[in-house]
Structure 1
C-alpha cells in the first residue's frame, strides 16, 4: 500500500500544472511597440439547439505578476453566425472580469450580434488588466442587447483565466 501511495505522489509531482491557458511571462518589446502575445487559444461554441455559432481565437500576453491575482492583456478575434432562417439573431456574449485601480474585480459584457443567415459577422476587441474571459452563445429575437434568458439560463464557457 505504501508503494502505491509513493508512486502516486511521484506521478503527481512530475505532472505539470495545467491552467485553462498557460500564463505567459511578460515580454517587453525593445522597440517600444505593442506587447507581444505569448498564449493562444482557439475556441468555438454553439447555442442551445445549434441555432447560433461563434468561433475565434484568444491571444493573451503582458501578464502582470505584481498584482494579486495576476492580470493580462487579451485580444479576442472571431466570427459570429446566425444559423436560423427566421427573424432571430445569433449573439456571442463575452463576460470580461478585469481589475480596477481600487483592486475590485467587476465585469463587463461585450456582445456581438449577427442577424444574417449563415453569413458571419467578424469582430475583434482588446482589453487590459483582464482576470477572466467567459463566453455564451444564444439565438433569440432581434434586440439591441441579449435578453436575461440569454445571460442567465446556460453556463458560461471559460475561455481564459489567469489562475
Structure 2
C-alpha cells in the first residue's frame, strides 16, 4: 500500500504543472460546520480563427484533500457557439482526468457540438472524483466526434486542477 502511494505521488510530480483555481474556500453547512468546499470559475475560449466560441462556469465541490491526488466533484455549465455561416460546426471538447477505484488517472472526453450559426447550444454535465478539467474549442466539418486535428493540434486550456 505504501509503495502504491509512492507511485501515485511520483506520477503526480510528472504531470505538467497547470494553473489551478484559487484554493477552495470552506463554506459553512446548515449545521455551521465548514465541511463543504466550493470553487467557482467562469471561463471562455475561442477556436483558432474565432470560428467557434464556448463560455460557461465550472463549480468544484466536495474536495477530498485526504485522497492522493486530491479529488473533487465538478459541474460544468455553458454554451457553445458556431460562428460560421458555412457547413462547419463549433466543438467544445472537455478532457476530464479522474481517478478510478484502482488508483489510476485516466481521462475521458465530453464533446458539445453546435452547427447553427450564432445560436447557442446549452450544456451541463457533472463528474465525480475529478483531478483535472481541460478545454479545447474547434471549428470543423460536422462529424459525430471531433477530428484528430481538433484534439491534438492546439493546446488545452486548464479550467480546473486540484493541485
**TM-score over 0.5 (shorter chain):** yes
Structure 1 segments of 4+ aligned residues over 6 angstroms from their partners: none
Q: Is the 8 A contact 1:95 1:135 kept in 2?
A: yes
Which structure's CA Rg is the greater one? 1
1:66 shift after superposition: 1.6
Q: Is the 8 A contact 2:72 2:129 kept in 1?
A: yes
Residue 109 in 1 paired to residue 112 in 2? no
Tell me the TM-score normalized by structure 2. Answer: 0.82
1:129-148 maps to which residues of 2 (within 5 A)?
Answer: 129-148=129-148
Give unpaired runs (5+ residues) of structure 2. 1-18
Number of matched pairs: 142
The CA distance in 1 between the partners of 2:62 and 2:37, in whole Å, is 7
2:78 paired residue number: 78
SS at match of 1:117: coil
1:63 paired residue number: 63
The CA distance in 2 between the partners of 1:49 and 1:37, in whole Å, is 38
Tell me the TM-score normalized by structure 1. Answer: 0.82
The CA distance in 1 between the partners of 2:148 and 2:28, in whole Å, is 41
The CA distance in 2 between the partners of 1:36 and 1:143, in whole Å, is 40
